[in-house]
Structure 1
Amino acid sequence: MSPILVTGGTGTLGRHVVRYLLDRGQPVRVASRRRAPAGPQPHEWATVDYRGGTGLAAAVEGTSAVVHCATNAVRGEAELARTVLAAAKDAGCPHVVYISIAGVDRHPLPYYRGKLAAERVVADSGVGWTVLRATQFHDLVYRILSALARPPVLVLPQGVRVQPVDSGEVGARLAELATGAPSGRVPDFGGPEVRELSDLARAYLDTAGRARKIVSVPLAGRSYRAYRDGLHLAPGHAEGRVTFEEFLAQRR
């Protein structure tokens, strides 16, 4: 059985994809910027330089699919996708699965625009492809709230709702898609609940044992309006099951 390559296989999402593929009995090759850790590993390892593409051709060679989870906000999502897809096409890899974000075709945030451009690179690559869009991960919401809670007052953008989803559940879905045939754009994968950000902040503070006053303030700009209007949400695709409180309990 040919291995499946997971770019960014040591990251928040990629490590879940790797785990679920291995649970399925699927050989896995992890592509990472880091050197392989010492000792035996349950999967193959490929050290790659995404900026210059060094090591990527060897990483893709002989694979049955690529799950592209690596990200690079500095260099640009489209350019990174172009490098990975070119290597996949040259190697004759029949299937690339790309993880994107719900609402990238509606939201003006520059990072979202980059993800949409990367989707187009994937679709136009000449390689069989699947794109899954997900809402924001619990992990991301947790990191944001943790940073905002450092001062005595926790300041939040007013009127913003979030639909956080468990990265493990998204990883399981990507593993399922990677072992199947190319499917194009598949239905979004959203968290189980659409919640006010202030509500999630209170849940975080309760779990962390932090006493903070929460202040919500209106902001300006197109990106803020898009968040306030819920363009990043996928309420019709509440596929996830793990709530934010359950995620917090698992961390604790």
Structure 2
Amino acid sequence: MSTILVTGGTGTLGSLVAERLRKDGHEVRVLSRHARPYAVDLREGGPGLDEAVAGVDAIVHCASTPRGGDEKAAGHLVEAARRAAVPHLLYISIVGVDRVPLGYYKAKLAVERLIEGSGLGWTVLRTTQFHNLVFQGLQALAKLPVMLLPAGVADQPVEVAEVADRLAELATGEPAGRVADMGGPAVRTAPDLARAYLRASGRRRRLLEVRLAGKAYRGMRDGGHLTPGRAVGTGTFEEFLARRFPAS
């Protein structure tokens, strides 16, 4: 069995990856700012990072934040992985990072390029947005009497547990470079997803589609963040909602 380090291993995705790997019999090290014994802030680096990567067979890099610092964190991780001669570095990215000019997407693309040029064996998997992220967005929009939705924008939410399974599978294989994207089972319009959320939550809101400005909005309106040809996920948004709002 392998020894695998999961960065961001206490987060939504990383915790499921760690769980799946352990279930399969692998030794898992969890790295995050507060997870002992590998409590490391990747943005700062330090000797604790060298200890975390020493002797591992693979690293699954799930740690990420829209608040900034991903490139710096990845730089520290790559340097430590080089020093330890880690044979496989696996990164989870987002479909459309090269087509939708959002700041966070630009940072994810920069990390991809850093890993590709690291000299290490690497794998990059891009997926569409997780169900819980779409849910959180709709939940916030539903706080107003009218839900304001971006006109002409669709999404393709994917079940995070399925992504975790795919990452665990990739982590125990050979470095594969950029692998095929992974999308949810269907492309759904924003009003369609909003109505599903309202039905499940028992709320009533009027929906209003609003045309926005900017290159990022145009990229999403053009479907740059979607991968309809790779609709390989099976878990639906309605199934996710049923778990969040179980019948009483």
Fold shared, TM-score > 0.5 on shorter chain: yes
Please point out which of 222, 229, 232 is paired with 2:225.
Answer: 232
Structure 1 residue identity aligned to 2:168: A
Q: 1:39 corresponds to which residue?
A: none
2:230 paired with 1:242: no
Structure 2 residue identity aligned to 1:60: V
2:79 paired with 1:86: yes
Choose 116-125 or 54-63, whichever is displaced more.
Answer: 54-63
Matches within 5 A, 1:147-226: 147-226=140-219
Choose 139-148 or 77-86, whichever is displaced more.
Answer: 77-86
Structure 2 CA distance for partners of 1:60 and 1:6, relative to 1, 3 Å: same
Q: 2:38 corresponds to which residue?
A: 46
Q: 2:21 corresponds to which residue?
A: 21
What secondary structure sits across from 1:20 in the alignment?
helix
Structure 2 residue identity aligned to 1:179: T
Aligned 8 A contact 2:57 2:87 in 1 = yes
Choose 183-192 or 45-54, whichever is displaced more.
Answer: 45-54
Q: 1:70 corresponds to which residue?
A: 63
Q: How much is the aligned-residue C-alpha RMSD, in angstroms?
A: 1.1
TM, length-normalised to structure 2: 0.95
Quote the offset at 1:152 in angstroms: 1.2
What secondary structure sits across from 1:73 in the alignment?
coil
Q: Deviations over 1:187-237 (max 9, x none)?
A: 000000000011101111111111111111111111111111100000110
Structure 2 residue identity aligned to 1:23: K
What secondary structure sits across from 2:125 in the alignment?
strand
Structure 2 residue identity aligned to 1:84: L
Quote the offset at 1:169 in angstroms: 0.4
What secondary structure sits across from 2:38 in the alignment?
strand
Aligned 8 A contact 1:135 1:163 in 2 = yes
Quote the offset at 1:35 in angstroms: 3.9
Alpha-carbon distance between aligned partners in 2 of 1:107 and 1:224, rounded to the nearest angstrom: 8
What secondary structure sits across from 1:67 in the alignment?
strand
For these two proteins, the number of residue pairs brought into alignment is 244
Matches within 5 A, 1:95-110: 95-110=88-103
- % identity of equivalent residues: 57
Q: 2:53 corresponds to which residue?
A: 60
Q: 1:9 corresponds to which residue?
A: 9
Q: 1:32 corresponds to which residue?
A: 32
Quote the offset at 1:20 in angstroms: 1.1
TM, length-normalised to structure 1: 0.94
Alpha-carbon distance between aligned partners in 2 of 1:24 and 1:35, rounded to the nearest angstrom: 22
Alpha-carbon distance between aligned partners in 2 of 1:14 and 1:27, rounded to the nearest angstrom: 15
Structure 1 alignment gaps of length 5 or more: 37-44
